[in-house]
């Protein structure tokens, strides 16, 4: 007997969202499958979230060994004084300072993007679910060294209850209308 997964039928609200960039770092990024596409979507997502005033935080896995967040992303994030949290745990929720920041935002939906999908992104998503929060996985802005690992991790997160979407879909869902001040910025980003 198989069970059918029924997704929650709701629209994601801007005022209940925060975002987390996970581990797109200097020594890891070049090894991620299709990393150039990932970086392009990540840059679009960051700029779109900023236009929508969605708070973004950054987590870095052992930066002494893996380097910092890529400079092209850091440059986009520096304008908004984005907080950066170092971690050695795979889940951002297992790092007390990171978890405290997530909880303090008082925003239940957490948009996740970064690497690696099957390790840090997935473990963070599962921990968010365990803590009553709703992870939103941006499938074209998450990556792994192996595409199969990425595929299986996205499937597992979806089955666990994560919302799975894309960069363009989440930006327009949060924007909601062509009358929104962020619409022109988002439209220009996705062209």
42-95 pLDDT tens trace: 999 999 999 999 999 999 999 999 999 999 999 999 877 899 999 999 999 999
Catalytic one of 17, 41, 87, 175: 87
∠33-169-50 over CA atoms, to 5°?
85
- What per-residue confidence (pLDDT) applies to 66? 96
CATH class as words, domain 15-190 = alpha beta
Catalytic one of 17, 93, 120, 175: 120
87 is catalytic: yes
For 72, counting Cβ atoms within 10 Å of its Cβ (0-12 exposed, 13-18 middle, 19+ buried), the class is exposed
23 is catalytic: yes
- Please answer whether residues 174 and 141 qualify as being in contact, where contact means their C-beta atoms are separated by less than 8 angstroms: no
Residue 52 per-residue DSSP state: T
Catalytic one of 17, 23, 41, 93: 23
120 is catalytic: yes
pLDDT in tens, 112-162: 999 999 999 999 999 999 999 999 999 999 999 999 999 999 999 999 999
φ/ψ (deg, to 5) at 182: -80, -10
């Amino acid at each position: 007997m198989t069970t059918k997964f029924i997704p929650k039928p709701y629209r994601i609200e801007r005022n209940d969202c925060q975002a987390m960039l996970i581990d797109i770092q200097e020594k890891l990024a070049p090894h991620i499958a299709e990393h150039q596409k990932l970086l392009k979507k990540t840059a679009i997502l960051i700029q779109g979230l900023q236009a929508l005033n969605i708070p973004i935080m950054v987590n870095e896995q052992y930066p002494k060994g893996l380097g910092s967040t890529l400079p092209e992303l850091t440059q986009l994030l520096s304008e908004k004084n984005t907080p950066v949290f170092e971690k050695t745990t795979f889940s951002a929720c297992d790092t007390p300072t990171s978890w405290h920041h997530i909880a303090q935002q008082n925003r239940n939906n957490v948009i996740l993007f970064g690497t690696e999908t099957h390790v840090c992104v997935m473990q963070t998503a599962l921990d968010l679910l365990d803590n009553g929060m709703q992870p939103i996985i941006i499938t074209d802005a998450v990556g792994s060294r192996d595409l199969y690992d990425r595929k299986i991790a996205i499937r597992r997160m979806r089955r666990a209850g994560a919302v799975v979407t894309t960069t363009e879909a989440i930006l327009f869902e949060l924007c909601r209308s062509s009358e929104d001040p962020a619409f022109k910025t988002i439209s220009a980003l996705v062209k």
